[in-house]
Amino acid sequence: MRGERGFALVITLIVTALLVALLVEFINETYVDTSHSHNFVAAQQAGVLAESGATVGRGLLQLELGSSLPGLSHPGYSSLLDTWAQPIHREDESGSLTVTIEEESGKLNLNNVLFSGSNNNYPFRTVARTMFQKLKLADFDTLTDSTVDWVSRFDLQPQPAGAKSPYYNMLKPPYDVKGATLQTVEELGLVKGFTGDTVARLKPFVTVYQGVQSEPVTTININTAPPELLASVPGMSDDLVSRILEYRKTKPIKALADIEGLKSPPPSLLAMVNFCGKVYRIHSEGRVGDSKSVVEVVVRVSGAASQVLYWREY
């Protein structure tokens, strides 16, 4: 009898232990499910915030540069003093939103390397090579020639330091040279000589977004271009770059004649620069709790409308 009682006690203890274990597991799963549910909701809210920020950015660009209101005309220039160039940050108990806008027109369009110019001298190719060198990027000749070979659809022979399909076919995995314009800056990672670090280093200075059909070659807005790019443009001395940077601290440049010493700028310089951007990149980041969502959109502003050229969410 005593043995039966002892056995029953053991069974009771085992059952109790199992019940406790099941209860702990149930509580844990309930907590995890609830946590996942809260995280999902927070992620959705962060996504909505980010999308709203992108919409706000587009509206701001259209308002300031697109003549979207009656009685307002396009200013004829865009600069880092404009409202769109100032970051937007809003935060309350529900979350935070940060929107920044940068002008793609103030960067070097790498697809322009095929433009031969009036004297067949490929001026933008020269700018690219000079800027790669000023940024102290290794093998700047390789970077320049490989970019030309990647986007060119007609030249069968590679540039001296470039590469065509036979080079890429030997890689693992193999692929062909594109033979068409770059669609994103990240695509450079496929091109000979461009490492991940190189692409990241170049992002503030280069773009790939072409102009409209009536303006296939995109020039560089000297109101927003970084100094390293300005210094790479033919006809731009270090002294001239310094004067441009100093001038645009307080007011936008509306013509090269605004800068002392440039009353009669060389035609080569006039052909490569402008004073107003048309393509902009909006970076909108929404945060709710520990969840973050980012929307990155590139738009071309034209009149009272804006055309989306690129949209990415992550």
Q: pLDDT for 40-89, tens place per residue? A: 778 888 898 899 899 999 989 988 887 655 555 567 889 999 999 999 99
At 97, the amino acid letter reads L
Kindly tell me if the per-residue pLDDT of 36 is higher than 80: no
280 or 8, which is more confident?
280
Greater confidence (213 vs 228) lies with 228
- What whole-number distance in Å separates Cα of residue 242 and Cα of residue 238? 6
DSSP tag of 83: G
Of the candidates 62, 61, 73, 135, the one whose C-alpha atom is nearest the C-alpha of residue 102 is: 61
Write down all domains in the chain, each with its CATH number in brackets.
36-104+279-313 (3.30.1300.30), 105-274 (1.10.40.60)
pLDDT of residue 32: 47
- Packing angle of the helix pair 140-151, 123-134 (nearest 10 deg): 140
Distance CA 173, CA 11 (A): 62
Mean pLDDT of 280-307: 91
Q: Are 194 and 218 in contact (CB under 8 A)?
A: no
**pTM (2 decimals)?**
0.82
* CA-based torsion, 227, 233, 234, 240: positive or negative: negative
| Cα separation, 39 vs 277, whole angstroms | 40
d(CA 171, CA 192): 11
**pLDDT value for 118:** 73
Residue 29 binned pLDDT confidence (cut-offs 50, 70, 90): low
